């Protein structure tokens, strides 16, 4: 990436507010141009890494290493308050889903190295029209292991991608967030709570999402003699014999003091804005290391704007993701010679056994 090409002449702000109960989610022309420049710079990084990849794979710029993928079922609670209901969130409704767990660092490294961890969930066969790629009928939820994002704005992204040492030296709060976010050690991808980090609409409300294992779990521990891929192996061992479950939860905006919309570097106060369970994700017994599963795991792509308007992603970080994720997904499909790949529910591998009802 040629850092000298990155613009430093603009100052960009998140432009999301709640005014008289209405969510104002604006993008300026300067921000649009800046995001396109950022997407081009990150694309150069992906192409450069592809040219040096030993396996000849064009990998994601972030979260390139999957620690396991699985088919799943997303189930909404049998009862939901009417004001929370949308074409997607219907009481008792269920959707087939595909989950990708990952390590965040741009280089593929052994799982035992502390890192930020990801969990991306794709729902299939949804009702309603999504904000991008409406013919696909996908809805994506993107989660990470930390409950806040490491920076706030497009201008900070450019600083981070430029002279990183100088930038972090001048921004100790961002450096502290990065150190915290990349400190996670897991026993299994299935034994961790994950967070959306950034806000979304839920009708005329603002929310964040989280998923948490249905069963109690302890602190992550690296097993003795752990191999470089022990997380995917641990996940596969469990799902060969038993299913797993996550509670799907929402956290509602209260006010800018305890639940700031524009400062995503701060976690929302759970004592003032608790997470509320609205559904579950059931992961049935299956082989997560089959050839078909590994191929899907590499080729699948996610975007927060695979969402209907009632669940619109809001804020600058989401607007950046919309363009960058689309750009990188298209580039990777081209370089990996799967230009027309669009995953559907018919691609999901069959589970080993039926899913159970878990409350």
Answer for the pair 308, 130: CB distance below 8 angstroms, yes or no.
yes
- The average confidence (pLDDT) of the chain is 91
Q: What is the predicted pLDDT for the residue at 20? A: 45
Cα separation, 285 vs 350, in Å, equals 9
Residues 6+ apart with CB under 8 A from 67: 101, 102, 103, 111, 117, 189, 229, 231, 232, 235
Q: What is the predicted pLDDT for the residue at 359? A: 57
Q: What is the predicted pLDDT for the residue at 29? A: 86
Q: What pLDDT digit, counting tens, does each position of 288-305 carry?
A: 999 999 999 999 999 999
Cα separation, 74 vs 109, in Å, equals 31
Q: What pLDDT digit, counting tens, does each position of 92-117 carry?
A: 999 999 999 999 999 999 999 999 99
State both tokens at 125: 């066969």
Q: What is the predicted pLDDT for the residue at 23? A: 60
Residue 232 pLDDT class (50, 70, 90 cuts): very high
CA-closest candidate to residue 322, choices 45, 92, 38, 125: 38
DSSP, res 229: T
State both tokens at 7: 């613009």
26 pLDDT more than 80: no
CA-closest candidate to residue 196, choices 147, 127, 262: 147
State both tokens at 80: 């939901």
Q: What is the predicted pLDDT for the residue at 313? A: 97
Measured CA angle at 16 (ends 161, 5), to 5 deg: 25
9 pLDDT more than 70: no
Q: What is the mean pLDDT of residues 148-152?
A: 96
CA-closest candidate to residue 141, choices 325, 305, 320: 305
CATH number of 3-347: 2.40.180.10
Cα separation, 219 vs 249, in Å, equals 21
Q: What pLDDT digit, counting tens, does each position of 317-349 carry?
A: 999 999 999 999 999 999 999 988 899 999 999
Query: Tokens 């078909």 label which residue?
Result: 292
14 pLDDT more than 70: no
What share of the chain in percent tops pLDDT 90? 81
Determine which of 21-25, 26-30, 106-110, 316-320 has the lowest per-residue pLDDT on average.
Answer: 21-25
Q: What is the predicted pLDDT for the residue at 354? A: 58
205 pLDDT more than 50: yes
21 pLDDT more than 80: no
Q: What is the predicted pLDDT for the residue at 222? A: 87
Residue 57 pLDDT class (50, 70, 90 cuts): very high
Task: Tell me whether strands 244-252 and 200-202 are parallel, antiparallel or unpaired.
Answer: unpaired
What share of the chain in percent tops pLDDT 70? 91
Answer for the pair 323, 211: CB distance below 8 angstroms, yes or no.
no
Strand, coil or helix: what is 246?
A: strand
Q: What is the predicted pLDDT for the residue at 24? A: 56
Q: What is the mean pLDDT of residues 120-134?
A: 94
314 pLDDT more than 80: yes
Cα separation, 308 vs 344, in Å, equals 17
Q: What is the predicted pLDDT for the residue at 190? A: 97
């Amino acid at each position: 990436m040629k850092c000298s090409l990155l613009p430093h002449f603009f100052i960009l702000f998140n432009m999301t507010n709640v005014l008289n109960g209405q969510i104002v989610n604006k993008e300026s022309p300067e921000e649009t141009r800046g995001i396109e420049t950022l997407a081009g710079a990150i694309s150069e990084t992906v192409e450069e890494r592809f040219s040096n990849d030993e396996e000849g794979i064009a990998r994601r710029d972030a979260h390139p290493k999957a620690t396991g993928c699985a088919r799943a079922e997303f189930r909404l609670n049998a009862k939901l308050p009417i004001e929370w209901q949308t074409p997607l969130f219907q009481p008792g409704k269920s959707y087939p889903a595909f989950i990708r767990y990952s390590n965040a660092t741009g280089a593929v490294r052994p799982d035992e190295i502390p890192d930020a961890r990801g969990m991306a969930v794709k729902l299939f066969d949804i009702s309603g029209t999504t904000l991008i790629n409406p013919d696909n009928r996908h809805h994506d939820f993107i989660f990470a292991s930390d409950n806040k994002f490491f920076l706030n704005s497009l201008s900070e992204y450019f600083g981070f991608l430029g002279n990183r040492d100088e930038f972090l030296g001048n921004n100790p709060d961002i450096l502290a967030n990065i150190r915290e976010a990349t400190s996670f050690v897991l026993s299994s991808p299935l034994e961790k709570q994950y967070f959306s980090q950034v806000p979304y609409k839920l009708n005329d409300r603002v929310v964040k999402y989280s998923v948490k294992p249905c069963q109690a779990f302890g602190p992550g521990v690296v097993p003795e003699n752990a191999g470089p891929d022990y997380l995917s192996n641990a996940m596969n061992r469990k799902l060969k014999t038993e299913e797993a479950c996550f509670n799907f939860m929402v956290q509602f905006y209260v006010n800018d003091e305890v639940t700031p919309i524009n400062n995503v570097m701060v976690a929302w106060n759970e004592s003032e804005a608790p997470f509320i369970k609205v559904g579950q994700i059931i992961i049935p017994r299956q082989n997560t290391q089959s050839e078909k599963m590994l191929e899907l795991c590499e080729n699948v792509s996610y975007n927060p704007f695979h969402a209907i308007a009632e669940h619109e992603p809001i804020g600058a970080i989401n607007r950046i993701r919309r363009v960058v994720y689309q750009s990188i997904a298209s580039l990777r499909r081209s370089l990996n010679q799967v230009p027309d790949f669009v995953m559907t529910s018919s691609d999901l591998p069959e589970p080993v056994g039926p899913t159970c009802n878990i409350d």
